[in-house]
Structure 1
Amino acid sequence: MSATVFFKGLVSRFASTPPLRHAVVTTFHKKGYEVYGKRCIETFLQYWPDDVTLFVYAEDVEVEIEDARVVVIDQAQSLPRLHKFRALYRDNPFANGTDPRGKGGSNNFRWDAIRFSNKVFAVTDAIERTKGAFDQLVWLDADTVTHTVFPRKIIDNLAPRKNQLAAYLNRKSYPECGWVGYNLNHARIDDFADRFEQSYLSGRFLKMKESHDSYVFWDIVKDMEKKGEAEFKYLGSDSASGHIFINSVLGGYLDHLKGDRKSDGKSRSADLYEKRKEAWWR
């Protein structure tokens, strides 16, 4: 089953559920803001529903966009546990991109825990900030462009419900975590956030096969499912690989500029499993 077909069933299945309160969180540094972050915010304001709030964790950069829907948070002041983690492991090569197997060189994202820890600690802090005020917190990579009006109905349909702690884009390997929706009403959401942080702060990530956020997220998800602590909503397909984000229903509204696609400003037609009908892709 293709991710597109899977999503069509998902949308119809939850079409009658009531609307939810949504928040979005992302983070970037100065160069990231200049290359893609500013565009992420601008297109969010243009195309997302007016009552969705975007929380931005800004690292050493002033965000000049002023809008009631955008809450800018100074990363240096707000994420002390992130900076504790960085201090602990900044000199450890296996936390900074060096393959512990001695095969993948010294600049490999799979073992660059320092790089991806920004995202992890922004998510956990945002969970704490938004509980009670919102129902779903969406992590959105800052190198994402919204290109079409994003209907509330779709955002509602994608959200985790009841005992589903999170909704994510599953695939053959570790998930695509450019979009992850967190159920802020779930009884174990604080436990999840603590596990996410402690996987890094405790040094546990050094014993894992890979240590980027998507792999660590997946490890926690599998453990919670195995123990019956939580369920999760799958937004992708176990048979899919590659750029699953744009091949899901999300591709009808968003484009994730992974890797060198940032400089192109758009994903490639070769990234699509099949042709899409939306104007952006034509």
Structure 2
Amino acid sequence: MKQLKTLILTTLLLVFFNPLSAQEEERKELAKLSFLMGNWSGISSSYTPNDTTRVNVRESVNYIMNGAILTLDVVSSNIELHTLITYSKKDTCYYYQPFSKTGGGKYKGKLEDGKFIVYFNPESRLIFEKTPNGEFHEYGESLKDGKWKKYFEDILLPAGVAKANQIKAEKITKEYIDPITALTNVVSVEHENFKTIYIAGQVGTGTTKEEQLETAYKAVEKRLAQAGATFSDLVDMKIYIVDYDPDKDLAMFFRVRKRLYGDMKMPPNVFIGISSLYSREKKIELSGTAVLIK
């Protein structure tokens, strides 16, 4: 807290003792970021190679000191961040100064093609923009193998609109993917910003349970891809095993899972021992449910 007070005081002193002509020019430059202003709420998504984590987030962006400073406050279950944004005529750039419980920093920013871009270093940047739909879009990118890749993303609406959308009943849309005579392999249900994907029982090939489990997992991945999802989007999975033997089959399951998915976070699993499937040759069947935020 002491560091934050010092940071704010230093910034205010710089603004106060700046020549009036410079202050006016800096206010004009800072006014170009007015598209960020408002109280926003929505979903923040964090991306890793094996997982996507989503939490609710609120952001508040306001001018203070008669437009000489722009403040940005972020609150979620993962972070509380207070940021000061200023413009320096001398350095001809914006300064983005975040402060959290773990410390603070000062980074240069620029306005380019309607986007406010902050560079933490040559290989990491933060981008703010307002979408044509009026959404507040903030995302972080890192440079890997010559390409910028997102590591987090916030898609927010004005707080009042977001709240209204939460309580507004909207039409549920269903899509039946790859239907056959007796069933549909995938049903995708969309409501508001969410898509829920239901995967029918998938079987594998091979002569052993291990071979069938591995190929059944691949079949589930294929069905998820048909609905625009990945294995990491699964929130539930049921595993049906003919003549289930806890002493052998459980170890086999962990072995296959480790081989295919490494340390990826797995969805809740239910093992169900059964007497038979639709074919005597089939020993394993998998079904699951996935959830996406559109």
- Give the TM-score, by structure 2 length: 0.22
Greater length-normalized contact order (CA 8 Å, ≥ 6 residues apart): 1
Greater helix fraction, Structure 1 or Structure 2: 1
Task: Name whichever structure is richer in strand by fraction.
Answer: 2
- TM-score (ref. length: structure 1): 0.23
